[in-house]
Structure 1
Amino acid sequence: MRITCPNCGERDRREFYYRGAAVDLERPAPDAGAEAWDDFVYLRDNPAGETRDLWYHEGGCGAWLVVTRNTLTHEVMETELVSGGKR
C-alpha cells in the first residue's frame, strides 16, 4: 500500500505507524469500573470498506495524518494533516 504524505509525497506504508481509527472515543469516568475501561482500551470496530485512520509518518517528516482508505481494496482516497500537525 502507498500513502501520500502531504509533506513528503507518495511513500511505502512501511514508513508509517498505524495508530487506529480517527474517531473521538468517549473516555469513561475515572471510577467507571474495570469492564468499561477494558472496553475503551481494547475493543474497536473492524469495518470492511471505507475508514478514516490515524497514521504517523515515522520514517519521514514526523507528521500525523488522517488517511481515508478502503480496507477491502487498499485504495487510499485521501490523506490530510491532522489539525495542528507538524509541517
Structure 2
Amino acid sequence: MQLIECPWCGPRDEIEFRYGGQAGIAYPEDPSALSDEEWAGYVFMRDNPRGWFHERWYHVHGCRTWFSVRRHTVTHEIGRDPESPRREEFG
C-alpha cells in the first residue's frame, strides 16, 4: 500500500484516493474547432514516461480536494508537486 500526502490532511493510505490522470492538461481554447482526431488526442492520449510523472489525485475519503503529486512510475515513490498548494498557503 502507498502513502499519499494530501496537502490538507497529511499522509494517508492510497485507498482513500482516486487517480485523476496526468496533471497539467489544458482544456482546448476552442474545442469546437478541433477535428475528431484532435479531440480524441486531447481526451485519450497521455504521456507514459519512465521516471517522474505529475499526476492529479482526488481525496475521496477525506477533504474531497483535487491536488497534484509527482510519482515515479517505476518505483512508485511519491513526492509533493511543488505547484500544488499547501494548507498553510490558504491561511
When normalised by structure 2's length, the TM-score is 0.77
Q: SS at the partner of 2:48?
A: coil
1:50 and 1:66 mapped to 2: Cα distance?
13
Unaligned 5+ runs, structure 2: none
Q: Which moved more, 1:71-80 or 1:26-35?
A: 26-35
> Aligned match of 1:57 in 49, 56, 59?
59
Q: Map 1:70-81; keep pairs closer than 5 Å.
A: 70-78=72-80, 80-81=84-85
What displacement does 1:26 show?
5.5
Q: Letter of the aligned partner of 1:35 in structure 2?
A: E
Alignment length (residue pairs): 84
Unaligned 5+ runs, structure 1: none
1:7 and 1:31 mapped to 2: Cα distance?
39
- Does the alignment pair 1:18 with 2:19? yes
Misfit runs of 4+, over 4 Å: none
When normalised by structure 1's length, the TM-score is 0.80
2:14 and 2:60 mapped to 1: Cα distance?
10
Q: SS at the partner of 1:51?
A: strand
Q: What RMSD over aligned residues (CA atoms) do the two structures have, in Å?
A: 2.3
Q: SS at the partner of 1:11?
A: strand
Seen in structure 2, the aligned counterparts of structure 1 residues 34 and 28 have a Cα distance that, compared at 3 Å, is farther
What displacement does 1:28 show?
6.6
Percent sequence identity over aligned pairs: 38
